[in-house]
Amino acid sequence: MRCANVREFLSQSLDGPIEPPDEAAVETHILACESCRLYRKTLRRMTGALATLEHAPAPLDFGAMVTFQLRRERVQRRWAPPAAVAAALVAGMVLAWPTWRDSGQGASAGLASAAAGLSADQETAAFMHWMDPAADGGSGLGVQQAAFDTYSAAGPGGQLSQLPAGPVSPLQFAPMAAMQPQPVTVQLGPAAFPTFFGGPLAPVQPLATPLR
């Protein structure tokens, strides 16, 4: 048996016994071949060293981080359909806005805008921004972001508000590793369309149903 074949068998022998006929041939070869004897010793030392490599524990609480990320995604998914419906409503309102304002029926809304110190154009721009911040260079999360901001602002120490809009990287999450995510509560109703419904401009308020 040649050295090359013997070494393949020696490699396999680290994981289990060699079959009898081959085992005898390998042993016979090794008795006469110093190089292969050293090879076997080397293999054993090397794989032993691999097996005892120092174990590196996880540097972060990935459980908390992954749970946090999954919940955030869930909030985003949950708000996507209502946001689409709301966006369609807004599109309709915006299209009808000039006719409505010119007809004088927009007087009450105009009064609300004036009370808030906004011109009609500013109000429309602010409302559009609120509905879709991405449209004018915002964070890209739209209504979900507003909801999440509410949650963030209420987070321990307000640190969560430092989060970027995209996925949280392990390094960004590290300083917050000890924090536990809180239930997210949001509402989408008249308060979400303040001046269009004649109400005061107000932030999205936490409400009843916690999102898991």
Partner 1 sequence: MPGLMAGISRTADTSPDLNLVRRSQQGDTRTFGELVRRHQDRVYNLALRMTADRDLAADVTQDAFLRAFRSLPKLRQPERFGSWLLKIVSNLSLDALAARSTVSLDALMEEGDEFLPVSGSDPADQIEGILSDEAVAAALKRVQPVYRQVLVLRHIEDLPYEQIAEILDIPLGTVKTRLFRGREQLRQFLTEGGITP
Q: Which residues bind partner 1 (CB under 8 A)?
A: 3-4, 7-8, 11-12, 14-15, 33-35, 38-39, 41-43, 45-67, 69-71, 74, 169-171, 212
In this complex, which beta carbon is closest to partner 1, that of residue 62 or of residue 197?
A: 62
CA torsion through residues 139, 143, 146, 148, sign: negative
Cβ within 8 Å of residue 125, ≥6 positions away: 136
CA nearest neighbour of 205 among 185, 178, 179: 185
What CA–CA distance (Å, rounded) separates 187 from 171? Answer: 32
State the nearest-atom distance from the C-beta of 37 to partner 1, in Å.
9
In this complex, which beta carbon is closest to partner 1, that of residue 33 or of residue 201?
A: 33
Looking at the DSSP bridge assignments, the partners of residue 211 are 184
Q: 37: buried, middle or exposed (CB in 10 Å: 19+, 13-18, 0-12)?
A: middle
State the nearest-atom distance from the C-beta of 146 to partner 1, in Å.
22
In this complex, which beta carbon is closest to partner 1, that of residue 60 or of residue 85?
A: 60
State the nearest-atom distance from the C-beta of 74 to partner 1, in Å.
7
State the nearest-atom distance from the C-beta of 171 to partner 1, in Å.
7
In this complex, which beta carbon is closest to partner 1, that of residue 171 or of residue 208?
A: 171
CB 69 within 8 A of CB 168: yes
State the nearest-atom distance from the C-beta of 2 to partner 1, in Å.
9
In this complex, which beta carbon is closest to partner 1, that of residue 45 or of residue 94?
A: 45
